[in-house]
Amino acid sequence: MGKLTGKTVAIITEKGFEEVELTSPKDALEREGAIVDIVSPQEGKIKSWDSTDWGKEFAVDKSIDKADPNDYHAVVIPGGVINPDYLRRSKEAIDFISHFFDQGKPVAAICHGPQVLIETGKLRGRSVTSFFSVKTDLLNAGAKWSDEECVVDHGLVTSRNPDDLPVFNKKLIEEIQERKHEAPKES
C-alpha cells in the first residue's frame, strides 16, 4: 500500500504541455497508489511538447465537462508555454481549479503552469515560484514570488522548471497526505 492509496488526482492540461511535467508527477503519484486522471477541455488525445518540439500524444481520461472536482483530492497543472495559455481561456478549467482552492485541497503547478492560477483570482498574498518569465504576471496578480526550487503555501505547491520535479513531486505527495489546507487570510 502506498502513501496515497485511495486518493484520486486530476492533472488538468491542454495541448502543448511540457511532457515531463505531466509524466513525472503522474508516475510519482501512481507509485504511491493514487489514481491519476488526465482532465482536459479537449477530448480524445492531446499532444505534449518535449523540450524543443512536439512530443507524444496522451489519452484524455475525462473531458472537463464530464469531470467533477469533488471526485479528486488534488489538482496538478503542468507547464509548457502553450498549455497554460489555452487553459486560462477555458472558464470550465478555471472553475475546476478554483474548486480546489475553495475546498482547501492541494493545487500544484510547475514552470508556466502557475500562470493559469492567475485566472482563479486566488493568488493574492500567496507565496509562489514559477518559470522566471511568469514572475511579473504573478506579482501583478498579488502573489509573493521567490526563486526557489519549490514553494509550498497552505497546500499550494509551485516549482520553476523540470529540474525541480523531484522536490515538486515529493512536496505534492506530502500535501495530499495532509489532506485539507486552509488558505491564509488576506492581510
- All residues at 6 or more sequence positions from 89 whose CB lies less than 8 Å from its CB, including other chains: none
From the list 73, 112, 150, 181, the catalytic residue is: 112
Residues 75, 97 contacting (CB under 8 angstroms): yes
d(CA 27, CA 25): 5
- Local structure of 98: helix, strand or coil: helix
Is it the case that residue 183 has pLDDT exceeding 70?
no
Superfamily the domain 8-178 falls into: Class I glutamine amidotransferase (GATase) domain (3.40.50.880)
Is it the case that residue 184 has pLDDT exceeding 60?
no
pLDDT band at 52 (very low <50, low <70, confident <90, very high): confident
Is it the case that residue 182 has pLDDT exceeding 90?
no
Amino acid, res. 179: R
Domain ranges for the chain: 8-178
Let me know if 112 is a catalytic residue.
yes
From the list 73, 111, 150, 181, the catalytic residue is: 111
Is it the case that residue 187 has pLDDT exceeding 90?
no
Segment 120-147, tens digit of pLDDT: 999 999 999 999 999 999 999 999 999 9
